[in-house]
């Protein structure tokens, strides 16, 4: 089944800068990839879904890229704000095709004023 690698160390950036988080996967290339945000003690919240035929997807200050050659997705938050501080999870189908999701451990983002 799929293995997902997200940086376990927290990412600290200053307000106004662009935050870039990485999601690497190790097995087959998925048909799609999802990103979620999770605040402490709460359930994850869906942010974006990108499909294998889409190189890039945007939603307001968020941008996701998907490179099937590198087996990597990058998640960017531009003009970051302290309210963006949270853990960001990457999720892929567990097996090939359209199986249920498997989630990465997530990367914590801390935006300081």
94 in contact with another protein (CB under 8 A): yes
Size of the site for another protein (CB under 8 A): 25
96 in contact with another protein (CB under 8 A): no
From the list 10-18, 19-27, 58-66, 88-96, the region that binds another protein by CB under 8 A is 88-96
Measure the CA–CA gap between 105 and 36, rounded to whole angstroms: 11
Measure the CA–CA gap between 69 and 72, rounded to whole angstroms: 8
CB 88 within 8 A of CB 35: yes
Residues 26-45 that bind another protein (CB under 8 A): 31-32, 34, 41-45
Measure the CA–CA gap between 1 and 37, rounded to whole angstroms: 23
Radius of gyration of the chain (CA): 13
Residues lying near another protein in the complex (CB under 8 A) are found at: 4, 31-32, 34, 41-46, 49, 89, 91-94, 98-106
């Amino acid at each position: 089944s799929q293995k997902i690698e997200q940086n376990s160390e927290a990412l600290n950036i200053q307000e106004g800068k662009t935050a870039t988080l990485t999601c690497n996967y190790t097995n087959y290339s998925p048909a799609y990839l999802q990103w979620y945000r999770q605040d402490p003690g709460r359930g994850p919240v869906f942010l974006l879904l990108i499909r294998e035929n889409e190189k890039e997807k945007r939603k307001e200050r968020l941008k996701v890229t998907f490179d099937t050659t590198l087996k990597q997705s990058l998640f960017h938050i531009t003009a970051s704000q302290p309210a963006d501080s949270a853990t960001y999870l990457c999720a892929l189908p567990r097996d090939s095709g359209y199986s249920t999701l498997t989630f990465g451990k997530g990367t914590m983002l801390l935006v300081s004023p």
